[in-house]
Amino acid sequence: MSDSSSFWMCPDLLFDGTGLSANMGVLIEKTRAVEIRASADIAIGAPRIDVPGLVCPGFLDMQVNGGGGVLLNTTPTLDGMLAIAAAHKRFGTVGLLPTVITDRPEILAQVAQAAIAAKGQRGILGLHIEGPHIAVARRGTHAENWVRPMDATTIAIVKNLRAAGITVMITLAPEAATSAQIAELAATGAVVSLGHTDTTAEKTRSALAAGASCFTHLFNAMSPMLGRAPGVVGAAINSDAYSSVICDGIHVADEMVGLAIRARPLADKVFLVSDAMPTVGGSDRFNLYGKEIRLEDGRLVNAEGSLAGAHITMAQSVARLVNVVGVDLTVALRMAVTVPAQVIGRPDLAQIIGRDTADLLVLDESLALVGTCADLGQQP
């Protein structure tokens, strides 16, 4: 696309971050969207490209462990973050939170410095710290020897990140942090998310009251919902907090994903995450904690046979949500764009106006990614 181009882009469907519309045009000046107008109101003879399919803002992923053969824990650097972001950009994710999981204290410190160095880099929205302050009983693939209670070191790192203007999400278990510590973290503006926890619904509600505002990968690595013990899952579904969910048909049954979305008391509280590992855009195996993780029939498993992250993109998650789970297309797109933007306080990332064409996606009728609006070619 020429930098001097100015034309109307008219897709079959347009998702503007709020809802879907047909018969709309987006004015592109140079490489930026500057106006949305009904197609009927576009001047006759104005330069125009008709786009088959759906145009929407690029996807936002709040939990990305790796991509392109790179795992953040083993490459805790700016270059590592850039490589991960570049890998996912190929699949329609234009903004993400690189995610560091439970590890040695020095790894978290290195990743925090990398996140500060990455400030302003396209595609990197901040940092997700998942662990080490979690429950051993629900650690999943997290290394047990590095799991530990919340400490002053992590709190200081979060405060330093926030003082530098870095968006932070931190996943912790209520049994690994006091209410005062949760409140202290939340007061910095960090998104405190509850996950990898075996606690009760009552203690979960106490953590929410202290300042937690989110749940990490609903259903996975948390106490289940039973008839007389709602657990973390029941407390999450009944709350007005946000919750992420992995929609790959492996981590959570498709029926349960649909049930959870329908059961929430408020709309726009569930969002998609990939929980992606280096195999997305990379080889079919990688090392974590010095041990091989391999891809088997779409599942990433460790030597113990436990799930070790996911092998799915946000684009594939959206398509599955609509085509398999049966979620309304508008709801699915909001779960991949609008809601995560709300979670981190970046509503601009869910808009069309002001966005570069490289951050606007084109999806076909099956919701497969065709490319970006930057691929549309020269003005007509």
Catalytic residue IDs: 275
C-alpha closest to that of 336 among 21, 61, 14, 53: 61
| Alpha helices for the chain (secondary structure H) | 78-89, 105-117, 152-163, 179-187, 201-210, 231-238, 254-263, 314-320, 329-333, 339-343
Dist. CA 201–CA 304, nearest whole Å: 29
Q: Are 128 and 118 in contact (CB under 8 A)?
A: no
Could you tell me where the beta strands, DSSP code E, fall in the chain? 6-15, 20-22, 24-29, 32-38, 48-57, 59-64, 66-67, 70-71, 93-101, 127-130, 168-172, 191-194, 214-215, 242-245, 270-272, 285-288, 291-296, 299-301, 360-363, 369-372
